[in-house]
Amino acid sequence: MATKLEYIWLDGYKPTQSLRSKTKIVKSFSGKVEDLDNWSFDGSSTEQAPGGSSDCILKPVFTVPDPQRKDAYLVMCEVLDSKGQPHESNGRAHIEDDDNDFWFGFEQEYFLWDPATNKPLGFPAGGYPGPQGPYYCSVGANNAFGREIVEEHLDACLEAGLNVEGINAEVAAGQWEFQIFAKGAKEAGDQIWVARYLLERIGEKYGVAVNWHCKPLGQLDWNGSGMHANFSNSLLRTANSEEKFKAVCEAFRPAVAECIAVYGADNDQRLTGKHETASIHDFSYGVSDRGASIRIPLYAVEHNWSGYLEDRRPNSAADPYKVAAVIIKTVKSAKI
């Protein structure tokens, strides 16, 4: 039976890459990613190649059934250059987690955005809604905006087999969050990107865009959007040691610049020290501290210093592949 394969990849735009995709029809497909062929695209239209030598290669790395199309799959791809080497825009290729020892739970925040008003859903065309307070985890038409889209997205993710762990309305009007967890850094990144893709595509149906920017309302008194990265490896999961936890946290201190470089564009606008963030200029960690760069969850302390850490600095527009890669590298550098 003819099957629709939606090959999805990240373009070469800087500082923030966007999703691109195109459909390939095949006669049949087993559902297994290793049975998929590489494909190519015009890299000169995506800032990934010069016009004179424009072919880039799509290498399928992750596939799930497409919940919105009949006889169809979504196919997340890495981009290779014309020689078959990872393209410079390909962050996934630099994740050093071949044994899937690293588990990641990303909390993806975003705004549902009305293209007509250029404001979040729930914002009147000419001004602002009431101040923050009633919107977080709210119910009711005065406070929760866009639930139909959010619910459809949740169902689509679950039907595709993505490991969504929860959703909630966030602190600003029109702002929402979903959480995805996976054992294996590459898979966690794949799942976040496919979930982002589904949200964008569902939004099309409603004429609603997704604003991934970390501070779309500027320096007004509205929260920005993050993508907290919760992470663990077997060391952290079985540490039984406050010293080991602190040694991992300390490994992040000299790596601040390297981390911030991939934690999403314009993060200086979001990491101000207000709105449950730490200043971009500081590095701190602490138990249960939502004003720290890295939070040690109470869970870890209650489990005799075993469990996971939460890096609160990555923002909503960050590439989860690059975030995971730098976290893994930094954890491995810890002096234990």
Q: Which stretch binds Mn ion (CB under 5 A): 22-30, 224-232, 248-256, 272-280?
A: 224-232
Both structure tokens of 196 = 């982002």
Is 181 one of the binding residues for ligand ADP (CB under 6 A)?
yes
Three-state DSSP at 288 gives coil
With CB under 5 to 8 Å by kind, the binding choice for 37 among ligand ADP, Mn ion, none is: none
Site string (139-168) toward ligand ADP, x via CB under 6 A? --------------------------x---
- Look at the block and give the residue holding tokens 């914002």: 123
Which of the residues 104 through 123 are near ligand ADP (CB under 6 A)? 104-105, 107
Is 59 one of the binding residues for Mn ion (CB under 5 A)?
no
Q: Using the rule CB under 6 A, which residue among 231, 252, 285, 321 binds ligand ADP? A: 231
Which of the residues 267 through 306 are near ligand ADP (CB under 6 A)? none
Cβ proximity to ligand ADP, 79 vs 278, nearer residue: 278
CB atoms within 10 A of CB 178: 23
- What DSSP line would sit under 222-249, residue for residue? S---BEEEEEE-HHHHT---HHHHHHHH
* Nearest Cα to Cα of residue 78 among 94, 92, 96, 63: 92
Which DSSP state fits 315?
A: B
Q: How far is the CB of 296 from ligand ADP (least distance, A)?
A: 12
Residues in a beta bridge with 107: 179, 228
Is 232 one of the binding residues for ligand ADP (CB under 6 A)?
yes
Both structure tokens of 289 = 């501290």
d(CA 313, CA 38): 35
d(CA 87, CA 12): 9
Is 9 one of the binding residues for ligand ADP (CB under 6 A)?
no
In this structure, the chain runs to a length of: 336
With CB under 5 to 8 Å by kind, the binding choice for 103 among Mn ion, ligand ADP, none is: ligand ADP
Residues that bind ligand ADP (CB under 6 A): 103-105, 107, 165, 179, 181, 228, 230-232, 237, 307-308, 310
